[in-house]
Structure 1
Amino acid sequence: MGRHVPRVLSIAGSDPSGGAGIQADLKSIAAMGGYGMAAITALTAQNTRGLTGVHTPPADFLRAQLDAVSSDIIVDAVKIGMLADAEVIRVVGDWLESARPAVVVLDPVMVATSGDRLLADDAATALRGLLAKADLVTPNLPELGVLLDEPVALTWAEALAQAERLSERIGAVVLVKGGHLSGLDCPDALVDAAADEDARIVEVPGPRIETRNTHGTGCSLSSAMATMQARTGDWAASLKVVKEWLLGALAASGELEVGGGHGPVHHFHHAEGSVPLADGEFAARLWDATAKIRAEIDALPFVAQLDAGSLPEAQFAYYLAQDAQYLNGFSRALARASALAPTEEEQTFWANSAQVCLVVEAELHRTWLAQHPLPPGEALRQGPVTKAYLDHLLAASAMGSYAVLAAAVLPCYWIYAVVGEELHKRHLQRTSPGAGGLSGGAEDPSGTEHPYGAWIETYADEAFAESTRRAISFADRAGRAASAADREAMMEAFVQSTVYERDFFDAPSKYA
Structure 2
Amino acid sequence: MDTVRAPGTKNSSRIPNVLSIAGSDPSGGAGVQADIKSISANGGYAMAVLTALTAQNTQGVSAVHTPPVAFLRQQLDAVAEDVAIDAVKIGMLGSADVARAVAEWLDDVRVPVVVLDPVMVATSGARLLDDDAVRAVVDLARRASLVTPNVPELAVLVGAEPATSWSDALEQGSVLAALLDTRVLVKGGHLPGERCPDALILPPGRPADAVAFDGVRITTANTHGTGCSLSSAIATRYAVTSDWPAAVREAKFWLEGALRAADHLEVGAGSGPVHHFHSAFHAAGTGSHERFTDLAWRRSTATRRHILDLPFVRALTDGSLSTADFAHYLQQDALYLREYCGVLARTAAMAPTDDEQLFWLSAATSCLRTEAELHRTWLDAAGLRFGEGEAGPATRAYCDHLTATAVRGSYAELVAAVLPCFWLYAAVGDWIQEQVRSPLEGSDTRHPYADWIATYADADFAAATERAKQISDEAHRRGSAAEREAMLAAFLRSAAYERDFFDAPRVQRLPAATREPADLREDAVLT
Partner of 2:26: helix, strand, or coil?
A: coil
Q: Deviations over 1:442-479 (max 9, x none)?
A: xxxxxxxxxxxxxxxxxxxxxxxxxxx99x96975653
Is 1:65 the counterpart of 2:65? The answer is no
Q: Is the 8 A contact 1:393 1:405 kept in 2?
A: no
Scaled by the length of structure 1, the TM-score of the pair is 0.65
Q: Residue in 1 aligned with 2:98?
A: 88
After TM superposition, list the pairs within 5 Å mapping 1:226-375 onto structure 2: 226-270=235-279, 271-272=282-283, 273-275=289-291, 277=293, 284-285=297-298, 287-288=300-301, 340-341=350-351, 343=357, 346=360
Q: Residue in 1 aligned with 2:487?
A: 490
User: Aligned partners of 1:393, 1:146: CA distance in 2, in Å?
Assistant: 56
Deviation of 1:93 (Å):
0.7
Change (3 A) 1:67 1:288: same
User: Aligned partners of 1:178, 1:332: CA distance in 2, in Å?
Assistant: 39
User: Aligned partners of 2:357, 2:219: CA distance in 1, in Å?
Assistant: 29
Deviation of 1:163 (Å):
1.3
User: Aligned partners of 1:129, 1:413: CA distance in 2, in Å?
Assistant: 40
Q: Residue in 1 aligned with 2:16?
A: 6
User: Aligned partners of 1:476, 1:113: CA distance in 2, in Å?
Assistant: 34
Partner of 1:264: helix, strand, or coil?
A: coil
After TM superposition, list the pairs within 5 Å mapping 1:394-405 onto structure 2: 400-405=409-414
User: Aligned partners of 2:230, 2:164: CA distance in 1, in Å?
Assistant: 22
User: Aligned partners of 1:72, 1:191: CA distance in 2, in Å?
Assistant: 34
Q: Residue in 1 aligned with 2:56?
A: 46
Q: Residue in 2 aligned with 1:128?
A: 138
Paired residue type of 1:28:
S
Q: Is the 8 A contact 1:63 1:91 kept in 2?
A: yes
Deviation of 1:284 (Å):
4.6
Q: Deviations over 1:32-64 (max 9, x none)?
A: 111111111111110000001111111111111
User: Aligned partners of 1:411, 1:208: CA distance in 2, in Å?
Assistant: 30
Structure 1: gaps of 5 or more residues: 299-329, 354-359, 369-389, 416-436, 438-468
Is 1:113 the counterpart of 2:123? The answer is yes
Partner of 2:263: helix, strand, or coil?
A: helix
Q: Is the 8 A contact 1:28 1:220 kept in 2?
A: yes
Instruction: Choose the corresponding residue for 1:222, options 231, 237, 240.
Output: 231
Partner of 2:122: helix, strand, or coil?
A: coil
Q: Is the 8 A contact 1:282 1:476 kept in 2?
A: no
CA RMSD of the aligned region, Å?
4.6
Percent of residue pairs bearing the same amino acid type: 50
Q: Is the 8 A contact 1:410 1:494 kept in 2?
A: yes
Change (3 A) 1:130 1:345: closer
Deviation of 1:231 (Å):
2.0
Q: Residue in 2 aligned with 1:33?
A: 43
User: Aligned partners of 1:193, 1:86: CA distance in 2, in Å?
Assistant: 25
Partner of 2:18: helix, strand, or coil?
A: strand
Change (3 A) 1:68 1:129: same
Deviation of 1:275 (Å):
2.9
Q: Deviations over 1:5-36 (max 9, x none)?
A: 22110000111000000011111111211111
Change (3 A) 1:6 1:115: same
User: Aligned partners of 1:157, 1:21: CA distance in 2, in Å?
Assistant: 30
Change (3 A) 1:489 1:110: same
Q: Is the 8 A contact 1:167 1:192 kept in 2?
A: yes
Q: Deviations over 1:141-180 (max 9, x none)?
A: 1111212222222222221111111111111111111122
Q: Residue in 2 aligned with 1:308?
A: none
Scaled by the length of structure 2, the TM-score of the pair is 0.63
Instruction: Choose the corresponding residue for 2:166, options 156, 176, 186.
Output: 156
Task: Name the count of aligned residue pairs.
Answer: 400
User: Aligned partners of 2:261, 2:180: CA distance in 1, in Å?
Assistant: 36
